[in-house]
Amino acid sequence: MENKKEMRNWLNEFNLNHPLVIAGPCSAETEEQVLKIAHELKDSDVSIFRAGIWKPRTRPGGFEGVGEIGLKWLKKAKEQTGLLMGTEVANAAHVKLALEYDIDVLWIGARTTVNPFAVQEIADALAGTKKIVLVKNPVNPDLSLWLGGVERLYNAGIEKLGVIHRGFSTYEKTKYRNIPEWQIAIELQNKFPDLPLIIDPSHITGDRKMILEVTQEALDLNYDGMIIETHTDPDNAWSDAAQQVTPDALKQIFIDLKVRKLDDVSDEFTQKMKKLRANIDVLDATLLELLGKRMKVADEIGLVKKAANVAVLQNNRWNEILGKMILDGETKGLSEEFVLRMFKAIHQESISHQDKVLNA
């Protein structure tokens, strides 16, 4: 992936003065539903109409998509509205059908990205295509798997590539359906700045009321576009009802979103940022110094436990610390989610230090 400039050109083809917007229902349900939503979106900022044709479900028995007939509906919607059409593909058979019906944008879903064999099968079926191909992050927070999927497609000669950030599964109870793990997407963005990055707030939140908030956060991080599930009757949608918005709600989101400048070259901005970043550098150095001191105390605790033949993990003590830190964090403007993640990492490092001492 050395020559990555080629992969960003397809965004320029849209000639937009705003981020790319992909929208449409989670699932194509009927021809009437597909056409109605497409017509309501055609005169908005939407460039690509999306609809699930095949729906991978965690357990059998749920609605798994209408299949090939839905591709006919998308083709008709394209003819009537001029919108480009996009759908998810999970195997070579899906790819073959999507290409037969001239689908413009194909994406690989989170459950497929985790399987290199499936991704390679799709890459082989798409070899040399001029279609836009997007890769959703894998279900689990694994940057290598995500990049591996992109690289397999790139090696197949597909130039119009991009990635979709849809969040990651977790056993923890959070306000998100899939936690964003923003740092993983940021790391990908830093490694490959020319690879278009699209936010999927529908799957991150699982809640239409949070769509604007998460989309704005993504735009603040210089994302290139968004993919938002949109339905004329979301409460009665056949899949993922809670996370879909109406076309009118989507248009209001466009109004409310603020697109930031990439930079400001004025002297005033530069000087203010220089001063604040210097403060951040000092505080970061202080944090590392304090963490180093904390681990030295953990080493001493390990020695005391070793002498008394006491186990490393003390759950009561850990829960006591965690509860106190969450409350203290709130008074300092820190979210519970952040405090939990930070102190779990600190706790794990402390355990590692103590374990080394015990087994030295």
Per-residue pLDDT of 240-265, as tens digits, reads 999 999 999 999 999 999 988 777 87
Compute how many other C-beta atoms are within 10 angstroms of the C-beta atom of residue 132. 23
Res 245: pLDDT: 98
Kindly state the tokens that stand for 250.
Answer: 């989507």
Please tell me the predicted confidence (pLDDT) of residue 57. 67
Helical H segments across 20-155, by residue range: 31-41, 68-81, 92-100, 110-113, 116-126, 143-155
Decide which of 340 and 196 is more confident.
Answer: 196
Residue count of the chain: 360
Read off the pLDDT of each residue in 11-23 and give the average, rounded to a whole number: 94
What pLDDT band is residue 62 in, cutting at 50, 70 and 90? confident
**359 burial via Cβ count (<10 Å: 0-12, 13-18, 19+):** exposed
pLDDT tens digits, one per residue of 172-220? 778 999 999 999 999 998 888 889 999 999 999 999 999 999 999 999 9
Phi, psi for 88 (deg, rounded to 5): -85, 140
> What is the predicted pLDDT for the residue at 58?
66
The stretch 155-175 carries a mean pLDDT of: 92
* pLDDT at site 264: 80
Q: Residue 136's pLDDT is what?
A: 98
Distance CA 283, CA 289 (A): 10
Cβ(118)–Cβ(112) under 8 Å? Answer: yes
Cα dihedral 50, 56, 59, 63, rounded to 10, equals: 50
Are the CB atoms for 231 and 242 separated by under 8 Å? no
Q: Which of 138-142, 224-228, 253-257, 336-340 has the lowest mean pLDDT?
A: 336-340
- Would you state the pLDDT for residue 34? 98
Alpha-carbon torsion angle 325, 328, 332, 333, nearest 10: 70
* Statement: residue 6 has pLDDT above 50: no
Q: Check residue 35 and give its pLDDT.
A: 98
pLDDT higher than threshold 60 for residue 8: no
43-55 pLDDT, tens digit per residue, is 999 999 999 999 8
Q: In which band, very low, low, confident or very high, does the pLDDT at 353 lie, cut at 50, 70 and 90?
A: very high
Task: State the pLDDT confidence band at 1, using cuts at 50, 70 and 90.
Answer: low
Confidence band, pLDDT 50/70/90 cuts, at residue 165? very high
* Domains detected in the chain: 5-256 (3.20.20.70), 267-358 (1.20.59.10)
What value does the mean pLDDT of the chain take? Answer: 92
Residue 5, pLDDT > 70, answer no
pLDDT in tens, 101-153: 999 999 999 999 999 999 999 999 999 899 999 999 999 999 999 999 999 99
